[in-house]
Structure 1
Amino acid sequence: MKDFTKELNFKTSRSSGAGGQNVNKVETSVTVTWKVDDSEFFNERQKSLIREKLKNRINLEGFLFLSVSESRTQFQNKKIAIEKILDLVDKSLFIPKFRAKTKPTRSSVEKRIQQKKQNSDKKENRRFKF
Protein backbone atom coordinates (compact mmCIF):
# COMPACT_ATOMS: atom_id res chain seq x y z
CA MET A 1 0.00 0.00 0.00
CA LYS A 2 1.45 3.32 -1.07
CA ASP A 3 1.12 6.24 1.32
CA PHE A 4 0.25 9.27 -0.81
CA THR A 5 -1.24 11.31 2.07
CA LYS A 6 1.01 14.29 1.19
CA GLU A 7 -1.02 14.72 -2.01
CA LEU A 8 -4.39 14.84 -0.23
CA ASN A 9 -6.27 18.10 0.35
CA PHE A 10 -8.68 18.46 3.24
CA LYS A 11 -11.69 20.72 3.60
CA THR A 12 -13.88 20.89 6.69
CA SER A 13 -17.56 21.72 6.96
CA ARG A 14 -20.40 21.40 9.40
CA SER A 15 -21.86 17.92 9.64
CA SER A 16 -25.50 17.40 8.81
CA GLY A 17 -28.07 15.60 10.88
CA ALA A 18 -28.77 15.37 14.58
CA GLY A 19 -26.27 16.50 17.17
CA GLY A 20 -27.55 19.78 18.54
CA GLN A 21 -25.11 22.51 19.45
CA ASN A 22 -22.01 20.51 18.46
CA VAL A 23 -23.25 20.08 14.87
CA ASN A 24 -24.40 23.68 14.61
CA LYS A 25 -21.13 25.34 15.62
CA VAL A 26 -18.23 22.91 15.00
CA GLU A 27 -16.86 21.95 11.59
CA THR A 28 -16.31 18.23 12.09
CA SER A 29 -17.14 16.86 8.63
CA VAL A 30 -14.02 16.30 6.51
CA THR A 31 -13.91 16.16 2.70
CA VAL A 32 -10.76 14.75 1.13
CA THR A 33 -9.81 15.55 -2.46
CA TRP A 34 -7.01 13.98 -4.46
CA LYS A 35 -5.99 14.83 -8.03
CA VAL A 36 -5.33 11.40 -9.55
CA ASP A 37 -3.48 12.63 -12.65
CA ASP A 38 -1.04 14.81 -10.67
CA SER A 39 0.07 11.97 -8.38
CA GLU A 40 3.79 11.28 -8.25
CA PHE A 41 3.38 7.99 -6.36
CA PHE A 42 1.76 6.04 -9.19
CA ASN A 43 2.78 5.28 -12.76
CA GLU A 44 0.45 5.86 -15.74
CA ARG A 45 -0.83 2.28 -15.79
CA GLN A 46 -1.78 2.45 -12.12
CA LYS A 47 -3.41 5.85 -12.60
CA SER A 48 -5.52 4.53 -15.47
CA LEU A 49 -6.56 1.55 -13.30
CA ILE A 50 -7.58 3.94 -10.52
CA ARG A 51 -9.50 6.16 -12.96
CA GLU A 52 -11.29 3.15 -14.45
CA LYS A 53 -12.26 1.42 -11.20
CA LEU A 54 -13.17 4.60 -9.29
CA LYS A 55 -14.79 6.47 -12.19
CA ASN A 56 -18.03 6.93 -10.21
CA ARG A 57 -16.15 8.81 -7.49
CA ILE A 58 -13.91 10.94 -9.76
CA ASN A 59 -15.30 14.17 -11.22
CA LEU A 60 -14.62 15.67 -14.67
CA GLU A 61 -11.54 17.58 -13.44
CA GLY A 62 -9.99 14.31 -12.22
CA PHE A 63 -10.49 14.80 -8.48
CA LEU A 64 -11.34 11.87 -6.23
CA PHE A 65 -13.73 13.02 -3.48
CA LEU A 66 -14.53 11.39 -0.15
CA SER A 67 -16.57 12.91 2.67
CA VAL A 68 -16.56 11.59 6.23
CA SER A 69 -18.70 12.75 9.15
CA GLU A 70 -18.81 9.58 11.24
CA SER A 71 -17.12 10.91 14.34
CA ARG A 72 -17.79 13.94 16.56
CA THR A 73 -14.25 15.24 16.15
CA GLN A 74 -12.54 16.66 13.10
CA PHE A 75 -9.31 14.80 13.91
CA GLN A 76 -11.05 11.39 14.02
CA ASN A 77 -12.90 12.12 10.78
CA LYS A 78 -9.61 13.09 9.13
CA LYS A 79 -8.01 9.80 10.23
CA ILE A 80 -11.03 7.82 8.98
CA ALA A 81 -10.98 9.67 5.66
CA ILE A 82 -7.27 8.95 5.13
CA GLU A 83 -7.79 5.24 5.92
CA LYS A 84 -10.79 5.02 3.58
CA ILE A 85 -9.13 6.75 0.63
CA LEU A 86 -5.94 4.67 1.00
CA ASP A 87 -8.08 1.52 1.15
CA LEU A 88 -10.15 2.58 -1.87
CA VAL A 89 -7.09 3.22 -4.00
CA ASP A 90 -5.39 0.04 -2.80
CA LYS A 91 -8.45 -2.06 -3.74
CA SER A 92 -8.70 -0.37 -7.14
CA LEU A 93 -5.11 -1.38 -7.94
CA PHE A 94 -5.82 -5.07 -7.26
CA ILE A 95 -5.88 -7.14 -10.45
CA PRO A 96 -7.61 -10.50 -10.01
CA LYS A 97 -5.73 -13.55 -11.24
CA PHE A 98 -6.88 -14.81 -14.63
CA ARG A 99 -8.88 -18.00 -14.37
CA ALA A 100 -9.25 -20.01 -17.55
CA LYS A 101 -12.58 -21.78 -17.93
CA THR A 102 -12.29 -25.56 -18.10
CA LYS A 103 -14.64 -28.27 -19.23
CA PRO A 104 -15.43 -31.21 -16.98
CA THR A 105 -13.55 -34.38 -17.89
CA ARG A 106 -15.37 -37.23 -19.59
CA SER A 107 -14.89 -39.46 -16.55
CA SER A 108 -16.36 -36.85 -14.18
CA VAL A 109 -19.41 -36.44 -16.44
CA GLU A 110 -19.87 -40.21 -16.59
CA LYS A 111 -19.44 -40.48 -12.83
CA ARG A 112 -22.10 -37.81 -12.28
CA ILE A 113 -24.56 -39.52 -14.63
CA GLN A 114 -23.89 -42.89 -12.96
CA GLN A 115 -24.55 -41.33 -9.54
CA LYS A 116 -27.82 -39.85 -10.81
CA LYS A 117 -28.86 -43.25 -12.17
CA GLN A 118 -28.13 -44.92 -8.81
CA ASN A 119 -30.13 -42.28 -6.99
CA SER A 120 -33.02 -42.67 -9.42
CA ASP A 121 -33.02 -46.47 -8.99
CA LYS A 122 -32.91 -46.13 -5.21
CA LYS A 123 -35.97 -43.86 -5.23
CA GLU A 124 -37.75 -46.04 -7.78
CA ASN A 125 -37.37 -49.04 -5.44
CA ARG A 126 -39.02 -47.10 -2.61
CA ARG A 127 -42.26 -46.72 -4.54
CA PHE A 128 -45.17 -48.95 -3.65
CA LYS A 129 -45.89 -51.47 -6.40
CA PHE A 130 -49.22 -53.26 -6.93
Structure 2
Amino acid sequence: MRIPITASVFLDEAELSVRFIQSSGPGGQNVNKVATAVQLRLDALGSPSLPEALKARLPQVAGQRLTQGGELVITARAHRTQEANRRDALERLVALLREAAHRDRPRVATRPTHASKRRRLEGKARQGIRKAERGARWDGE
Protein backbone atom coordinates (compact mmCIF):
# COMPACT_ATOMS: atom_id res chain seq x y z
CA MET A 1 0.00 0.00 0.00
CA ARG A 2 1.21 3.51 -0.79
CA ILE A 3 0.99 6.19 1.90
CA PRO A 4 0.48 9.72 0.48
CA ILE A 5 2.90 12.32 1.85
CA THR A 6 2.30 15.14 -0.64
CA ALA A 7 0.51 15.28 -3.98
CA SER A 8 3.59 13.87 -5.74
CA VAL A 9 5.38 11.93 -2.97
CA PHE A 10 4.20 8.50 -1.80
CA LEU A 11 5.80 6.18 0.75
CA ASP A 12 5.63 2.42 0.23
CA GLU A 13 4.35 0.68 3.38
CA ALA A 14 6.84 -2.16 2.77
CA GLU A 15 9.66 0.29 3.68
CA LEU A 16 8.29 0.60 7.24
CA SER A 17 9.37 -1.65 10.08
CA VAL A 18 6.89 -1.95 12.97
CA ARG A 19 7.86 -3.36 16.36
CA PHE A 20 5.66 -3.64 19.44
CA ILE A 21 7.34 -2.94 22.78
CA GLN A 22 6.19 -2.72 26.39
CA SER A 23 4.75 0.63 27.29
CA SER A 24 4.69 2.61 30.49
CA GLY A 25 1.69 4.62 31.57
CA PRO A 26 -1.99 3.70 32.06
CA GLY A 27 -3.16 0.12 31.93
CA GLY A 28 -2.68 -1.24 35.46
CA GLN A 29 -1.29 -4.76 35.56
CA ASN A 30 -2.01 -5.10 31.86
CA VAL A 31 0.88 -2.75 31.09
CA ASN A 32 3.36 -5.34 32.41
CA LYS A 33 1.98 -8.16 30.26
CA VAL A 34 1.10 -6.68 26.87
CA ALA A 35 3.39 -4.93 24.41
CA THR A 36 1.15 -2.07 23.25
CA ALA A 37 3.70 0.64 22.45
CA VAL A 38 4.75 0.88 18.80
CA GLN A 39 8.19 1.64 17.43
CA LEU A 40 7.96 2.60 13.76
CA ARG A 41 11.21 2.65 11.76
CA LEU A 42 11.95 3.96 8.28
CA ASP A 43 15.33 4.02 6.55
CA ALA A 44 14.63 7.60 5.50
CA LEU A 45 17.98 8.48 3.92
CA GLY A 46 18.07 5.18 2.01
CA SER A 47 14.42 5.24 0.92
CA PRO A 48 13.83 5.17 -2.85
CA SER A 49 10.37 6.74 -2.37
CA LEU A 50 11.58 10.02 -0.86
CA PRO A 51 13.06 12.78 -3.07
CA GLU A 52 16.59 14.05 -2.36
CA ALA A 53 15.37 17.54 -1.37
CA LEU A 54 13.17 16.02 1.36
CA LYS A 55 16.04 13.84 2.59
CA ALA A 56 18.28 16.91 2.80
CA ARG A 57 15.78 18.80 5.02
CA LEU A 58 14.88 15.79 7.17
CA PRO A 59 17.77 16.06 9.70
CA GLN A 60 16.70 19.60 10.68
CA VAL A 61 13.04 18.61 11.06
CA ALA A 62 13.46 15.17 12.68
CA GLY A 63 16.18 16.06 15.19
CA GLN A 64 16.77 13.23 17.70
CA ARG A 65 14.31 10.93 15.93
CA LEU A 66 16.82 10.40 13.10
CA THR A 67 19.64 7.96 13.96
CA GLN A 68 23.27 8.26 12.84
CA GLY A 69 22.55 5.65 10.15
CA GLY A 70 19.72 7.74 8.68
CA GLU A 71 16.88 5.71 10.18
CA LEU A 72 13.79 7.59 11.35
CA VAL A 73 12.35 6.17 14.61
CA ILE A 74 8.87 7.12 15.85
CA THR A 75 7.65 5.69 19.18
CA ALA A 76 3.95 5.88 20.09
CA ARG A 77 2.69 4.81 23.51
CA ALA A 78 -0.15 7.20 24.26
CA HIS A 79 -2.98 4.69 23.72
CA ARG A 80 -3.83 1.34 25.33
CA THR A 81 -4.11 -0.68 22.12
CA GLN A 82 -1.51 -1.67 19.56
CA GLU A 83 -3.71 -0.55 16.67
CA ALA A 84 -4.33 2.94 18.11
CA ASN A 85 -0.60 3.38 18.81
CA ARG A 86 0.26 2.11 15.30
CA ARG A 87 -2.16 4.62 13.75
CA ASP A 88 -0.73 7.41 15.93
CA ALA A 89 2.86 6.56 14.95
CA LEU A 90 1.96 6.47 11.24
CA GLU A 91 0.16 9.83 11.47
CA ARG A 92 3.17 11.38 13.22
CA LEU A 93 5.54 9.95 10.59
CA VAL A 94 3.45 11.38 7.74
CA ALA A 95 3.23 14.78 9.51
CA LEU A 96 7.01 14.83 9.98
CA LEU A 97 7.67 13.94 6.34
CA ARG A 98 5.15 16.58 5.17
CA GLU A 99 6.93 19.19 7.28
CA ALA A 100 10.26 18.17 5.72
CA ALA A 101 8.71 18.29 2.23
CA HIS A 102 7.44 21.86 2.73
CA ARG A 103 9.83 24.42 1.31
CA ASP A 104 9.75 28.02 2.52
CA ARG A 105 9.57 30.64 -0.18
CA PRO A 106 12.84 32.55 -0.44
CA ARG A 107 12.70 36.05 1.00
CA VAL A 108 12.75 38.82 -1.57
CA ALA A 109 14.69 41.85 -0.37
CA THR A 110 12.63 45.06 -0.49
CA ARG A 111 13.50 48.67 0.13
CA PRO A 112 11.72 50.77 2.78
CA THR A 113 9.21 53.25 1.39
CA HIS A 114 9.80 56.98 1.57
CA ALA A 115 6.90 57.35 4.04
CA SER A 116 8.27 54.64 6.36
CA LYS A 117 11.69 56.33 6.38
CA ARG A 118 10.07 59.66 7.21
CA ARG A 119 8.00 58.11 10.06
CA ARG A 120 11.10 56.45 11.50
CA LEU A 121 13.07 59.71 11.46
CA GLU A 122 10.17 61.66 12.98
CA GLY A 123 9.96 59.10 15.81
CA LYS A 124 13.71 59.41 16.43
CA ALA A 125 13.41 63.19 16.52
CA ARG A 126 10.53 63.04 19.03
CA GLN A 127 12.52 60.67 21.23
CA GLY A 128 15.54 63.00 21.05
CA ILE A 129 13.42 65.99 22.13
CA ARG A 130 11.92 63.94 24.98
CA LYS A 131 15.38 62.97 26.23
CA ALA A 132 16.74 66.53 25.86
CA GLU A 133 13.88 67.87 28.00
CA ARG A 134 14.86 65.53 30.85
CA GLY A 135 18.11 67.43 31.43
CA ALA A 136 18.71 70.13 34.08
CA ARG A 137 17.01 73.49 33.39
CA TRP A 138 19.01 76.68 33.09
CA ASP A 139 17.32 80.03 33.84
CA GLY A 140 19.97 82.21 32.21
CA GLU A 141 20.96 84.06 35.41
Q: Please give the TM-score of this superposition, normalised by the length of structure 1.
A: 0.77
Say which structure, 1 or 2, has more relative contact order (CA 8 Å, 6+ apart): 1
1:4 has 2:36 as partner:
no
Between Structure 1 and Structure 2, how many residues are aligned? 122
Unpaired stretches in structure 2, ≥5 consecutive residues? 1-5, 130-141
- Residue 17 (structure 1) shift: 2.9
1:21 has 2:32 as partner:
no
Number of the residue aligned with 2:62: 54
Amino acid at match of 1:40: P
- The 1:82/1:5 distance shift into structure 2, 3 A limit, reads farther
> Which whole-Å CA distance do the structure 1 matches of 2:45 and 2:112 have between them?
46
Aligned-pair identity (%): 29
- The 1:115/1:31 distance shift into structure 2, 3 A limit, reads same
1:68 has 2:82 as partner:
no
Q: 2:53 aligns with which of 45, 48, 54?
A: 45
- The 1:23/1:98 distance shift into structure 2, 3 A limit, reads same
RMSD over aligned CA atoms reads 2.5
- Residue 16 (structure 1) shift: 1.1
Q: Please give the TM-score of this superposition, normalised by the length of structure 2.
A: 0.72
Secondary structure, aligned partner of 2:64 = coil
Amino acid at match of 1:71: H
Amino acid at match of 2:31: V
